[in-house]
Amino acid sequence: MEGSPAVRGFSGSRVTAENGEKRMRCVSLFVLWLVLLLVPAGVFGGEEDDRVFRFTLTPWTEPGLSAPEAIGQLVLRDGVTVPAFVLSVDDAAEDGLVRRKPERMSLDAAVKVQFAARLAAYYTGYWGREGWLLAPATWRLMRAQAGMNGSAVFVFAPPRGETGFLSFQSTGACAGCAAMEASLYFPDIRAQVEEEYGMAYTSSEPPLDSIVDIRPHTRAWRVVLGGRNIDGITFYNGDSDDPFFTWSVSLPDQDGDLATPVLNWLLPPQK
C-alpha cells in the first residue's frame, strides 16, 4: 500500500523509553497529515525499514474529484498567457469541497512562450505561487485535498497509459510533520529531528542521486527510478509559519523539457 512518508514514518512500533514520550506528544500533530496525504511519493514500510523513504512512479487518486473549471487565461510577465482553471479542493477546514476564485487573472511570473502553449495554471486558493500551480496542459487532476492546519496535497498525472506524476505537498503549520518530511532532503537536521520527534529518515530507495542548494532553505534534488528521473524542489525553514513544501515531477519523454518551467514556478524569490 502506498502513502505519504509521514504515514510510513509512524507505521512502525519501535519506540524506546527515552523517545517514546516525545513521539506520543507529536502524534496528534501528525494525525491529519497521516490520514490526508496519500500521495505518489512513497510506500508503507515495515518496522524494519520505516526510516527508509521509498519513491514510486504510481500516483494515488482521489475518488469523486470535481473537474477543474476553466476561467480563461492567466496573464504572466511580458504578456505570456496560459489557460487557467479553478480547482475544487476537499478542504477539511470547510468540511467539504471548496472552489475559490482568484481576485485577478495576472501574475508577475515568467514562463517562456514555447512552454506556455503546453502548460495550464490551476488556482488552489492558497497553495502554490500566489495560489497558482502549473502543470502540463494535457494532464489530469488526481488529488486535491487540504487539512485543518493548512496542509495540502495536489497531484496530477499524464493521460492514461503514460507513466509519471506531478505532486505538491505542504505540511501547513504542523512542525513535526515538516521536520519529518524535511529530514529526507536535509540530512544535516536528522539528528535534531530524531531527538525532538523520535523519528527521522535515514535514507531513501532509490537513493537521492543529487541534492543541491539553490536558495536559502531550498534544495533541488533528483532520483532515478526504473530509468526515469524524478526531479523535485523542497523548501524547509523550521522558523517559518509554513515550514515545508515539496514539488516533484516525473515526466514522459515527450514532456521532459517541461520539468524546468514547472519546477521553477515555485522557487522562492532570490534575496
pLDDT at 66: 86
Question: From CA 96, how far away is CA 165, in angstroms rounded?
Answer: 25
Closest CA relative to residue 55, chosen from 201, 172, 194, 158:
201
pLDDT score recorded for residue 46: 34
Sorting pLDDT into bands at 50, 70 and 90, what band is 63? low
Asked if the model's pLDDT at residue 20 lies above 50, the reply is no
Instruction: Give pLDDT tens digits for 162-196.
Output: 899 999 999 999 999 999 999 999 999 999 999 99
Distance CA 67, CA 63 (A): 12
For 134-148, how does the pLDDT look when each residue is reduced to its tens digit (9 = 90+)? Answer: 999 999 999 999 999
Q: Can you give the pLDDT at residue 15?
A: 28
The one-letter code for the residue type at 193 is V
The full set of domain ranges for the chain reads 68-264
- The confidence score (pLDDT) of residue 49 equals 65
Tell me: the pLDDT tens digits for 39-52? 334 332 334 467 89
When pLDDT is cut at 50, 70 and 90, the band that residue 25 belongs to is very low
Q: How confident is the model at residue 58, as a pLDDT?
A: 81
Please name the CATH architecture into which domain 68-264 falls: 3-Layer(aba) Sandwich (3.40)
Cis ω for the linkage preceding 243 (within 30 of 0):
no
Note the pLDDT of residue 135. Answer: 97
**pTM (predicted TM-score):** 0.82
CA–CA separation, 44 and 12 (whole Å) = 9
pLDDT at residue 271 is higher than 90: no
- Burial tier of 104 (Cβ tally within 10 Å: 0-12, 13-18, 19+): exposed
- Amino acid making up residue 225: L
